[in-house]
Structure 1
């Protein structure tokens, strides 16, 4: 697992503005927003009353509980779900396989297209997963507990038009001065742009910024707005398919920002075993996806089906590539990230060594602090309060005998 490293703080002021819409997930009677994909069926998966046909080449886990002990009484878990980003989708894949049913858990989804909006609508969920923009919003302004990391986003890319001077000479700082760049302000896309400009001795003040969210940014760019575009995940792959030139991305810049899951205080206190089971299922399902090409193809088919249901721009090729870009930690990597410690890479916090995941989160939080979104006092506060909690990782370790 490639680990993000803290970058030099960038002293450029930009307003933190991000507006995303909450959309409702469709659901079956068990709360699942997925459906059975029977095309090219190669087998079935069944657990309890749940049965689903799998596409050719996909193989269901031999034990749908993944070795976890089913709950004696039926449980209900409400999940804040990030549409279009793989950081949430292992929940859906597990649900479609019948894993949650086998564990005696009903799952209900509330779908979002942005982390800050997800945090604001926190009455809708018990656990919620989001990108680093939403993670920082939650750590600075809410009391939720961060319990998991579900993706390291390497496919956060900067695109230019193929017939432009920037495409022919993308590392020329003179061409970037005064260029108009479309991106969502207050997100890690902004941080990727700032880091790339820094490699040429430039800052965000050297370009003209147009604030558009991830999907609308591509629409605007298609319509002629801007000289460059910053977008990620399926939208980045759509930009690639339109013929735009990828000049760099967060993976190339060694800035794979973590996407994380929060749990509400109430469920952490009343039912931590349910939180731990859900986290374990997420990573075990990711391991199932990566076991074979057939399983990855099944995951891509379910991803596409959900995107179609939610009206999210996608096609079969984009779905397959999105799953291939997914960088979720394995179970053992997750446990290590939440249990192994190291000093604060920025040298700002000396009260204790930090968990590895805390340093990874700070790689983005410190950028947002540098552009005025947060303060060092807020940074110190969430670290002092140990809002990044490893009790769930320790419970998962014990559950699975790792």
Structure 2
């Protein structure tokens, strides 16, 4: 074999021997490492495994919490269902405005509103537990306090601007003119001209109360005239057909009557009868104080909005009348809303401080007692049935959150 080949063979054998030594050394190191790992603490190994498991579980729980939070945000909150009652009148308009603007939902309430043309059917409905809180005129309110054991939570708009006693233009009362009753210059005619007259009127209504105040201003009693009970729509049509000598009208019927040329012989203002509408609540409503307070908060907010946004409120009133089948024009709606008034926040406070609202209730009851509609015992029931705590709370809530 050539030398060069021998050297190459020797070198090759040397390299191979070196590779074998290195391989043996590497295998030995691997075995030692395995033994050392096997000698490690079992608890440490378990701890590492547990830590890995805990970390995995934590990530799973966090993911589940995030998914749950997203689900809560996606799902709407459950609202408390309540049923209110109202009338197509300015004193109730704040409820309809609040309903349209979603203010009840903001307070967590799912509200249904039952609308009544007058107080009598409205009160009949509460007897069957159809509604929990309602707004109505003071005449129906007194009946609610006396006969239905409701509680008066407060008051809304002044309720007298459209309450009037009408006569025909050729009536001797109209022809006599105004200014003949001392202290009540806005009333037409003289006491003698009213005696024996037949007056169409919805008994128990604010129109009836206005008539009693007019008779009192004239120095007359209910027995001095002939009062025929009729619901307002029937009374209006009957009077146009020639029945009766006078008729008590309000709201859009007053506008229609003046459109027909009827003369307002008297009114709440002429007879100096200034009364507010009232907010009544059933025992069921009072049992759920938290929900009823939320209702009062929203009603007061709506009332203040109407008071401060008359032109837009007039459109709401017009739409309400049309929806409820009540005859109305946009012109009348605007004049009615602009003529009516609700106390400002400061005036509300002053009325509470001066006990003015209780005085108004007492004045209304005196007229009813004088004509025999109610008794002195009923007076006590009415006066004890007023609790303005929730209204005062609503005023404070409004000042804190919405007053400018």
Higher-RCO chain (CA-CA 8 Å, sequence separation at least 6):
1
Specify the alignment match of 2:60 in structure 1. Answer: none
Query: How many pairs were matched up?
Result: 311
Aligned to 2:164: 157
| Residue of structure 2 equivalent to 1:77 | 82
What residue is the counterpart of 1:303 in the other structure?
317
Partners in 2 of 1:232 and 1:331 — Cα distance? Answer: 27
Question: Unpaired runs of 5+ in structure 1?
Answer: 1-70, 342-354
Shift of 1:146: 0.9
The separation in 2 between residues aligned to 1:279 and 1:332, in whole angstroms, is: 18
Q: Does the Cα contact within 8 Å between 1:139 and 1:382 map onto a contact in 2?
A: yes
Cα deviation, residue 173, structure 1: 2.9
8 Å Cα contact 1:157-1:248 kept in structure 2: yes
Where do 1:168-317 residues align within 5 Å? 168-169=175-176, 170-270=188-288, 272-291=289-308, 295-317=309-331
SS at the partner of 2:287? helix
Match of 1:128 among 134, 145, 155: 134
Shift of 1:289: 2.7
What is the TM-score of this pair, normalised by structure 1? 0.71
1:229-262 deviation line (CA, Å, top 9, x unaligned): 1111222122112111112210222202221011
Which residue number in structure 1 is paired with residue 11 of structure 2? none
CA distance in 2, matches of 1:357, 1:201: 26
Instruction: Decide whether the 8 Å contact of 1:148 with 1:279 is kept in 2.
Output: no
SS in 1 for 2:207: helix
Residue 318 of structure 1 and its aligned partner are, at CA, apart by 2.0
Q: How does 1:306-345 map to 2 (within 5 A)?
A: 306-337=320-351, 339-341=352-354
The alignment partner of 2:91 has SS state of coil
How far has the Cα of 1:304 moved from its partner? 1.8
Change (3 A) 1:393 1:174: closer
Conserved 8 A contact 1:112-1:118: yes
Separation in 2, partners of 1:329, 1:90: 14
**How do residues 59-138 of structure 1 correspond to structure 2 at under 5 angstroms?**
73-82=78-87, 84-122=88-126, 123-138=129-144
Q: Does the 8 Å contact 2:132/2:285 carry over to 1? A: yes
Q: Which runs of 5+ in 2 are unaligned?
A: 1-75, 177-187
Larger of the two Rg values belongs to structure? 2
- TM-score, normalising length: structure 2: 0.71
**CA shift in 2, pair 1:197/1:265, >3 Å:** closer
Instruction: Give the number of the structure whose residues are more often helix, by fraction.
Output: 2
2: CA distance between counterparts of 1:245 and 1:381?
37
**Alpha-carbon deviation of 1:72?**
6.9
2:79–2:105 Cα contact (<8 Å) kept: no
- Give the CA deviation at 1:382: 4.3
